[in-house]
């Protein structure tokens, strides 16, 4: 599409999270400390063209979009085909 030659590209994503609490005591929790991304590109293309390519890639990245945007979570639970509300678990 953009006709930019890239000889090599790689992306790494690191999720920094902590899962704690007790399953038996019902105190399980998950805490996010951050998400790190690293994009490495090899190309002889001009810097302005590469910047355009990278902006497009980052703007279309599902992982980065989920992290940087406030995304509503709609969660439902059912048991045996019927809604199963649980106190303390948001529904909707």
pLDDT tens readout for residues 44-68: 999 999 999 999 999 998 888 888 8
Q: What parts of the chain have a pLDDT lower than 50?
A: none
**What pLDDT is attached to residue 85?**
87
Measuring CA to CA, which residue among 15, 21, 47 is closest to residue 33?
15
pLDDT over 90 percentage in the chain = 65
- Residue 67 burial (C-beta neighbours within 10 Å; 0-12, 13-18, 19+): middle
Instruction: Classify domain 8-83 at the CATH superfamily level.
Output: K homology (KH) domain (3.30.300.20)
**What pLDDT is attached to residue 14?**
92
Say what the pTM is: 0.69
């Amino acid at each position: 599409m953009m006709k930019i030659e890239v000889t090599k590209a790689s992306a790494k994503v690191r999720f920094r999270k902590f899962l704690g609490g007790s399953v038996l005591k019902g105190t399980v929790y998950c805490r996010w400390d951050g998400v790190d991304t690293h994009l490495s590109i090899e190309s002889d293309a001009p810097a302005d063209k590469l910047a355009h390519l990278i902006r497009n890639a980052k703007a279309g990245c599902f992982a980065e979009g989920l992290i940087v945007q406030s995304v509503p979570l709609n969660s439902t639970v059912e048991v045996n085909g019927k809604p199963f509300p649980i106190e303390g678990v948001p529904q909707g």
